[in-house]
């Protein structure tokens, strides 16, 4: 590890200024440190300036205003998961935070850090593989060990998006508030891009832009469901978030996003459309609608099982959102 300077700006605007300070070759913003420290240890980045924003607490972690939730960038996953108001009015968000990693991690990991963490691809995370994300010429997963990689998207890089929180937020019309540039906010859908729009980062933030808050709307009939191989400290094999509007047992509208299947939170608007009018009591129709989720799936050698898991995760997220028994 090379020596670096450490800055502790008083506010996010200060952090943004430092992030585009030309005196530094590679300024890196660190909050909880979960991901940045991993990168330092593996030798994936060698910053000359580390901008520690963890102590910035200019707002309460969680507040409600104008009928929406406002989450401070530094709110911990544990506190979001523990918020009674979020659990009641946007259960999908509380659940995706509660499902992440371990209690130890959730107590430290921050909301913005979770959204902006880098992918967990084992080739990307290993400094000896000069993969596309590191400026190399090859995706090693494509014809290699790709059991945990994407089934959607045309590459050239086949990562899956790592943030559970992003999956949950994506069904709550979420956006992030920014400082450091001429725009104030960007919608969650516009925060991330596919690999064909750039390989070296996964988000659309400009240098100097810093996330200060996350906004999202309540979705009282919503849920997150993750299928995990291991129940302690594991990444989902497949995850799904669903937000519904119900008329009795009939779905009036549905928003569905899948996780761990694509390089970005994978919105499935056609599944939402297929669900309209479906009665929760008509399991055949429900399953048929969920099955449309895999329409465009293009699995690789070792991840075809995700195609089988995805409709299961979506159906369970829908049933869970409606307060129904999931494993029936």
Partner 1 sequence: MADRTMPSRSPLPNRPMNDGIAMSDDANRLDGVAKVTGSAKYGRDVMPKNGVFVSFIRCPWGHAQARSIDEEAASAVAGVLEVEITGREGRYHGEPIGHIAAESLAALRRARSALNIEWDPEDADTEIGSPEASHDDDPDGADHVLEAVYTTPVQTHSSLETHGTSIDHMGDRAIIYASTQGTFSAREGMDRVLGMPQSRFKVVCEFVGGGFGSKLNGAGKEGLTAGRIAAKYGRPAWLFCDRAEEHLDTGNRPSSRTHVRIGYRDDGTIVGGSVRTWGGVGVAGGGGGVVMPSNRYDLGRIRKQHADVRFNGGGPRAFRAPGHPQGAFAEELMIDEVATATGRDPLELRMKLDREDERRSMYELGARLIGWKRRQPTGTQASVLRRGFGIGSTSWNRFPARADAEVVIHPDASVEVRTGSQDIGTGQRTAMAIVVARQLGVPLDVVHVSIGDSSLPAGPASGGSVTATNTSLAMLEAADNLKETFLERIAAQLGVVAGALKIREGDIMQDDRRMMTWQEACAALGSAVSGRGSRSRRSDRQYSGSGHSMGVQFVDLEVDSETGVIHLNRIVAIQSCGRVICRKTAESQIIGGVIQGLSFALFEDKLLDRNTGAMVNPNLEFYRIAGPADMPKIEPVLWEGNQTGIRPLGEPPTIPTAGAIACAVFNAVGSPVRDLPLRPDRVLDAIEGGRS
Residues that bind partner 1 (CB under 8 A): 1, 43, 102, 120, 122-123, 125-126, 128-129, 140, 143-145, 147, 227-234, 237, 304-305, 308-309, 312, 327-328
Given the complex with partner 1, which of 1 and 65 has the nearer CB atom? 1
Smallest distance from the beta carbon of 310 to partner 1, in angstroms? 11
Minimum distance, C-beta of residue 194 to partner 1, in the bound complex (Å) = 24
Report in angstroms how near the CB of residue 308 gets to partner 1 at its nearest. Answer: 6
Residue bearing tokens 């999956």: 167
Look-up of token digits 């980062």: 201
Exposed e or buried b for every residue in 136-145, given b needs 16+ CB within 10 A? eeebbbbebe
Strands 250-259 and 238-247: antiparallel
The CB-of-208 to partner 1 minimum distance in angstroms stands at: 30
Q: Which is nearer to partner 1, 140 or 224 (CB)?
A: 140
Question: Of 195, 259, 201, 250, which Cα lies nearest the Cα of 221?
Answer: 250
Please state the closest distance from residue 222 (CB atom) to partner 1, in A.
21
What's the closest the beta carbon of residue 231 comes to partner 1, in angstroms? 4
Burial class for 55, CB neighbours closer than 10 Å (0-12, 13-18, 19+): exposed
Closer to partner 1 at the Cβ: 46 or 217?
46
Toward partner 1, which CB reaches closer, 180 or 299?
Answer: 299
Cβ nearer to partner 1, comparing 183 with 298: 298
Least distance from partner 1 to the Cβ atom of residue 190, Å: 30
Considering beta carbons, is residue 120 or 288 the nearer one to partner 1?
120
- In the bound state with partner 1, the residue whose beta carbon lies nearer, of 39 and 215, is 39
Q: How distant, in Å, are the alpha carbons of 244, 251, 253, 272, 286 from that of 277? A: 12, 5, 8, 10, 10
Distance CA 106, CA 132 (A): 30
- If phi > 0 it is left, if psi is from -120 to 50 it is alpha, else beta; for residue 249 that is alpha
Q: Please, which residue, 64 or 283, has the CB nearer to partner 1?
A: 283
Q: How far apart are CA 247 and CA 230, in angstroms?
A: 36
Half-sphere exposure (CA, 13 Å, Cβ side) for 317? Answer: 37
Give 118's DSSP letter: P
Q: Which of 79, 21, 74 is nearest to 50 (CA)?
A: 21
> Closest Cα to residue 94, out of 126, 140, 62?
62
Using CA atoms, how far apart are residues 67 and 50, in angstroms rounded to an integer?
A: 36
Taking the complex as a whole, the smallest distance from the CB of residue 66 to partner 1 amounts, in Å, to: 38
Q: Which residue has the tokens 């943030």?
A: 163
| Residue number, 273 or 302, with CB nearest to partner 1 | 302
Shortest distance in whole angstroms from residue 326 CB to partner 1? 9
């Amino acid at each position: 590890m090379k020596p670096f300077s450490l800055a502790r700006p008083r506010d996010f605007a200060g952090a943004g200024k430092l992030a585009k300070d030309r005196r530094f070759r590679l300024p890196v913003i660190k909050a909880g440190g979960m991901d940045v420290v991993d990168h330092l240890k593996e030798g994936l980045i060698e910053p000359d300036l580390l901008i520690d924003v963890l102590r910035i607490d200019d707002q309460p972690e969680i507040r409600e205003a104008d009928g929406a939730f406002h989450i401070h960038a530094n709110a911990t996953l544990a506190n979001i998961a523990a918020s009674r108001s979020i659990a009641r009015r946007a259960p999908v968000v509380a659940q995706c935070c509660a499902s992440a990693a371990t209690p130890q991690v959730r107590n430290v990991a921050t909301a913005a850090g979770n959204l902006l963490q880098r992918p967990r691809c084992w080739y990307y995370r290993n400094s000896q593989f000069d993969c596309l994300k590191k400026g190399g010429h090859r995706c090693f997963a494509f014809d290699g060990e790709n059991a945990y990689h994407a089934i959607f998207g045309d590459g050239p890089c086949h990562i899956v998006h790592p943030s559970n929180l992003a999956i949950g937020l994506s069904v709550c019309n979420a956006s992030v508030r920014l400082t450091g540039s001429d725009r104030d906010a960007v919608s969650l859908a516009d925060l991330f891009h596919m690999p064909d729009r750039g390989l070296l980062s996964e988000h659309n933030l400009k240098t100097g832009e810093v996330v200060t808050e996350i906004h999202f709307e309540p979705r009282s009939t919503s849920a997150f469901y993750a299928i995990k191989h291991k129940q302690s400290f594991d990444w989902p094999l497949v995850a799904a978030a669903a937000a519904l509007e119900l008329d009795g047992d009939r779905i009036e509208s549905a928003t569905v996003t899948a996780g761990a299947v694509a390089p970005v939170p994978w919105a499935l608007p056609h599944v939402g459309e297929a669900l309209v009018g479906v009665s929760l009591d008509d399991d055949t129709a429900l399953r048929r609608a969920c099955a449309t989720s895999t329409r465009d799936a293009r699995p690789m050698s070792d991840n075809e099982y995700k195609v089988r898991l995805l409709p299961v995760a979506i159906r369970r997220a829908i049933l869970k959102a409606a307060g129904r028994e999931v494993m029936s």
